Amino acid sequence: MIRAESLCVGYEKRAVVRDADLQIAPGEVVALIGPNGSGKTTLMRALARTLLPLSGTLSLDGRPYNEYPPTEFARRVGYAPQETPVEMGFRVEELVMMGRYPHQRGFWGATAQDDAVVESALEFVGLSHLRHRLISQLSGGERQRVNLARALAQQAQYLLLDEPNAHLDLHHQVQLLSRLREQVAKIGVGVLVSLHDLNLASEYADRVMLMVNGQLVQTGTPNEVLQPDILEEVYHTPTLVRQNPLTGKPLVFPLRAEIIPQLPAEAPFAFVVGGGGSGTELFYPLMEAGWRVGTGVLNLMDTDEEVARTLGLEPIIEQPFSPIGEASFAKACEQACSAHAVVVADVPFGNGNLRNLELVLHACRAGTPVVLLELRPFSERDYTGGRATELWHQIRALGAQVARSYPELLEILSRLARQTCPY
Ligand code: ADP
């Protein structure tokens, strides 16, 4: 295990990384993320023993770093720095062979085993065909892969990889990280990898450490760390976080702050009844059309709930998989009844959300204009044995308008806005 406690690292006595506590265990991939200049490289350098810490302790498998002679340390910890090696006069395979030095004795030179390890490291990074090329004649991405091959050739128990993806195209990024994961599973290396791409960190890391202004402010699973409020605070950018449907890992979409329309308090207010993603298709277009939007009742963690929060709405929510309770029903009724319009998305109704139709009926009776979006016949989305259809008919009988498409819905709403809220 690599362990750092109260680690402070910096340059000329100026601390850049402060009070870092961390562990990297064999068999895990830990991603180090954080904005530019937050201190990731500086921390890596200290862990790789190329930069002496200002204070704090560093240990490797229970022994302090300084008890390890350099060659023994290099046999255990491989480091692929971000910068290109300065040894420009070398050829690719010579540079990768340098990773074997800690394993070689005296001046006996490379053994057949060293050759085989270099070969497989070059294969790993897909550079076998460039083995005789001078480093100076490589592209940025190729040089980076040489760096990685050199670290791999060390056959160390721990790998510290600083932005190994920086110059790689999408194919090579994914290939590199998935191969690394295979190594982790096969021989139990422990990997610390700094990554800019939060989605790659999410997909490939067991744990994520978030560094901000020289401090590790969050450590946890991708799900724990890659949360919209945490990311917005750190990167000053709103994000939408969804689940990768294939892997269940969080997927982060950065948004422009300006993308979220800022609406004045006197703008008309639409209450949207949606759920399961049906509301998502309405929130943004309605806001763009100048409506303030409220929504409910949604279950916590419903897709619509997450999107509503990202857009700065305050959805009325109920616990996951729970029926709509009195408190949330009353709150939603209040909002719907005082809205300039209630919009019912093209959502299926079952016993769990039937009360949302009851609240629409309530609003209708209170005189709130209701617009029903009907992209497919209501009978196809009634899972209540007819009770929802009955409510639907009552709502229609009270004068609710039906829109058969999104443009028609927006048209009806703009008419309503002119009539009810001529601001
Ligand atoms: P990151 O890897 O997160 O982008 P770095 O560790 O490279 O961050 O940099 C953190 C801070 O340390 C920056 O302010 C940077 O300017 C400073 N820094 C990096 N390397 C040196 C150096 N060799 N000497 C002095 N300051 C440095």
3-class SS string, 251-280 = EEEECCHHHCCCCCCCCCEEEEECCCCCCH
Report the residue among 9, 33, 36, 42 best suited for mutation to probe ligand 1: largest number of ligand atoms under 8 A from its CB.
Answer: 42
Owner of token pair 């498998």: 61
Q: What is the pLDDT of residue 298?
A: 95
Residue 422 has pLDDT above 60, yes or no: no
What is the best residue among 9, 11, 17, 18 to mutate for testing ligand 1's pocket, by most ligand atoms within 8 Å of CB? Answer: 11
- Give the span between the Cα atoms of 15 and 11, in whole angstroms: 7
Going from the Cα of 39 to the center of ligand 1, the distance in angstroms, rounded, reads 6
Residue nearest to atom 26 of ligand 1 (CA): 11
- Average pLDDT estimate for 324-348: 96
d(CA 63, CA 330): 62
Residue 103 burial (C-beta neighbours within 10 Å; 0-12, 13-18, 19+): middle
pLDDT at 108 (0 to 100): 67
- Of all protein residues, whose CA lies closest to atom 13 belonging to ligand 1? 37
CA distance 63 to 2: 9
Instruction: Tokens for 52, please give them.
Output: 């002496």
Q: Which of 7-16, 102-111, 171-180 has the highest mean predicted lDDT (pLDDT)?
A: 7-16
Task: Give the pLDDT of residue 288.
Answer: 92
Return the pLDDT at 106.
Answer: 64
Backbone phi, then psi, for 149, in 5-degree steps? -60, -40
What is the structure's pLDDT at 83?
75
Task: Name the residue with the closest Cα to ligand 1, atom 20.
Answer: 42
Q: Please tell me the residue having the least CA distance from ligand 1 atom 19.
A: 42
Residues with CB under 6 A from ligand 1: 11, 16, 34, 36-42
pLDDT of residue 87: 62
Q: What is the pLDDT of residues 185-227, one digit of tens each?
A: 988 999 999 999 999 999 999 999 999 999 999 999 999 999 9
pLDDT band at 61 (very low <50, low <70, confident <90, very high): very high
CA distance 53 to 89: 32
**CA-45 nearest atom, ligand 1:** 6
- Tens of pLDDT along 348-399? 999 999 999 999 999 999 999 999 999 999 999 999 999 999 999 999 999 9
Distance from Cα 175 to the centre of ligand 1, integer Å: 29
Atom of ligand 1 nearest to the CA of 162: 2
Long-range contacts of 403-409 (CB under 8 A, 24+ apart): 403/371, 403/372, 403/373, 403/374, 404/374, 404/375, 405/375, 406/281, 406/282, 406/285, 406/373, 409/282, 409/343, 409/371, 409/373
Instruction: Report the pLDDT averaged over residues 260-278.
Output: 92
Which domains are seen in the chain, by residue range? 2-254 (3.40.50.300), 260-420 (3.40.50.720)
At 318, which helix (H) or strand (E)? strand 317-318
Q: Quickly tell me which residue has 């040489």 as its tokens.
A: 146
CA nearest neighbour of 328 among 356, 306, 297, 372: 297
Residue 423 has pLDDT above 60, yes or no: no
Name the pLDDT band for 318 (thresholds 50, 70, 90).
very high
**CB-hemisphere CA count at 13 Å for 415?**
10
In this prediction, residue 421 carries a pLDDT of 58
Tell me if 121 sits within 8 A of 149, measured CB to CB.
Answer: yes
Distance CA 38, CA 237 (A): 16
Q: Specify the pLDDT at position 320.
A: 86
The phi and psi torsions of 127 (rounded to 5 degrees) equal -120, 15
Q: pLDDT-based confidence at 243, cuts 50/70/90?
A: confident
How far is the C-alpha of 54 from the C-alpha of 75, rounded, in Å? 25
Best residue among 16, 43, 195, 209 to mutate for probing ligand 1's pocket (most ligand atoms within 8 Å of CB) is: 16
pLDDT at residue 307 greater than cutoff 70 = yes
Query: Per residue in 106-145, pLDDT tens?
Result: 666 778 888 899 998 999 888 999 999 998 888 888 888 8
pLDDT given at position 90: 87
pLDDT, greater one: 270 or 420: 270
Question: What pLDDT, on the 0 to 100 scale, is given for residue 195?
Answer: 95
> Which atom of ligand 1 has the smallest separation from the CA of 38?
3
Amino acid at 362: H
Question: Atom of ligand 1 at shortest distance to CA of 211?
Answer: 3
Q: CB of 283 within 8 A of CB of 291?
A: no
Write out the H or E segment, with its range, that includes residue 6. Answer: strand 2-11
Q: What is the distance in A from the centroid of ligand 1 to the CA of 11? A: 8
Confidence of residue 339 (pLDDT cuts 50, 70, 90): very high
